[in-house]
Amino acid sequence: MLNLIKLPHVLTIHQVPKVFHEDGIISGYRPPYSSAKDCALSIFQPTNETLNIWTHFLPAWFFLWKLLMVALAMEEGERSLYLWPLLVYLASCCVYPLASSCAHTFSSMSVRARHVCFFFDYGAISLYSLGSAVVYSSYTFPQKWVNSTFHHWYVSIAVLNSVVCTALACCSSLPDYQVAKLTKPLRIVPFALPFFYDNIPLFYRLFVCVGEGCTDNDANGLHHQHLALTFLTGFLYATRLPERLAPGSFDYIGHSHQLFHVFAIAGTVVQMKAVELDMVLRQAWLLAHSPPITFTNTVGVTLVSVAANLCVICIFSLALFSTTKNKDKDNKLSDIIKGRDSCSPRSAFCCQR
């Protein structure tokens, strides 16, 4: 079937504008200004984005299956309310890999489309950070901190973090604010901040708390594994290894963004097992001592975050489309694609993810 469909030829870094360059990736680029149809078909041909797409698209369906299983198992009464945080968390686990796979699929349609696609990707990651905060607040907080002032404000601050971090990530992508040496650090901060904030209770529980009330159970080993995988994920994203050591050798398989996706999903799976184990092992104690779980402090705060993040994405998308400078750049890039100009040298790498 695919043999009857004409797939676009992949290009080298010399043949695409600078904005599409990836550090250490020499070949396998899809043609810029591709149609939506060509972008969709490109997931079935070898490019430097193919595995980026599939390593998040397939896990999204696994997480959706988990979500449906929990939703179908919900019953009336107290047991149903107790599962709401897990439901919110699983929903966020579905959204972030799906948004990422869509962003990677359609990012070669145009410069503007590339930015807007990843705006939604950033928003989905922020939503996942909030989902983690909701489930940690309900099941994972160390016993000593349950019902503390920090516990009562923990999710509210996480909502604020999700909105602020989406705005910072989007801002780092706007052409007017991009500086090659600062873009990556500016993009790392919005993702590192919610991670460290969300895990404050876990850091205390695993590495600081001593004695009674520290919640030492079988889930702790899984929490350790999750933190290790998350730090490895961040390391891969920040260092761009291994392709920085051997440019061109990992264009299709094995570059850092593919590994980043794989370890991010692995970390999420381990995190999911850990919170589910906490949920089961601590149910009786939590129902008796922790703040009541309600629709408002689970689904309600999530809907507020979704609405606020969509507003942020709309604001930055409008700013992107209304910038005269961007229009000029698009015209110039169009000329490049049509052969009326030459491309930037390959030494001018700039990561745009």
User: Structure tokens of 351?
Assistant: 């990561």
Instruction: List, for residues 285-331, the tens digit of each pLDDT value.
Output: 999 999 999 999 999 999 999 999 999 999 999 988 876 454 545 45
Q: What pLDDT is stored for residue 228 in this prediction?
A: 97
Mean pLDDT of the chain: 87
Q: What pLDDT is stored for residue 339 in this prediction?
A: 47
Q: What pLDDT is stored for residue 351 in this prediction?
A: 39
- Rounded to whole angstroms, the Cα distance separating 79 from 71 reads 12
Q: What pLDDT is stored for residue 212 in this prediction?
A: 86
Token match 């004695």: residue? 211
The CATH class of the 46-74+92-104+111-243+257-321 domain is mainly alpha
- Rounded to whole angstroms, the Cα distance separating 283 from 97 reads 29
CA angle 320, 304, 73 (to 5 degrees): 125
Per-residue confidence band for 1, with pLDDT thresholds at 50, 70 and 90: very low
- Rounded to whole angstroms, the Cα distance separating 81 from 298 reads 10
Instruction: Write down the domain spans for the chain.
Output: 46-74+92-104+111-243+257-321
Instruction: List, for residues 271-290, the tens digit of each pLDDT value.
Output: 999 999 999 999 999 999 99
Q: Which amino acid is at 228?
A: A
DSSP state letter for 330:
H
Look at residues 258, 316, 324, 264 and name the one whose alpha carbon lies nearest to residue 118.
316
Instruction: List, for residues 135-180, the tens digit of each pLDDT value.
Output: 999 999 999 999 999 999 999 999 999 999 999 999 887 765 554 4
- Rounded to whole angstroms, the Cα distance separating 154 from 161 reads 11
Read out DSSP for 92-135?
HHHHHHHHHHHHHHHTTS-HHHHHHHHHHHHHHHHHHHHHHHHH
User: Structure tokens of 190?
Assistant: 């919005």
- Rounded to whole angstroms, the Cα distance separating 9 from 263 reads 30
Q: What pLDDT is stored for residue 173 in this prediction?
A: 77
Whole-model pTM?
A: 0.88
Q: What is the mean pLDDT of residues 201-216?
A: 92
- Rounded to whole angstroms, the Cα distance separating 260 from 254 reads 10
DSSP state letter for 233:
H
User: Structure tokens of 218?
Assistant: 């079988």
Q: What pLDDT is stored for residue 181 in this prediction?
A: 52
Instruction: List, for residues 91-140, the tens digit of each pLDDT value.
Output: 999 999 999 999 999 999 998 999 999 999 999 999 999 999 999 999 99
Close Cβ partners of 161 (under 8 Å, ≥ 6 residues apart): 126, 129, 130, 193, 194, 197
- R_g of the chain, CA atoms, integer Å: 22
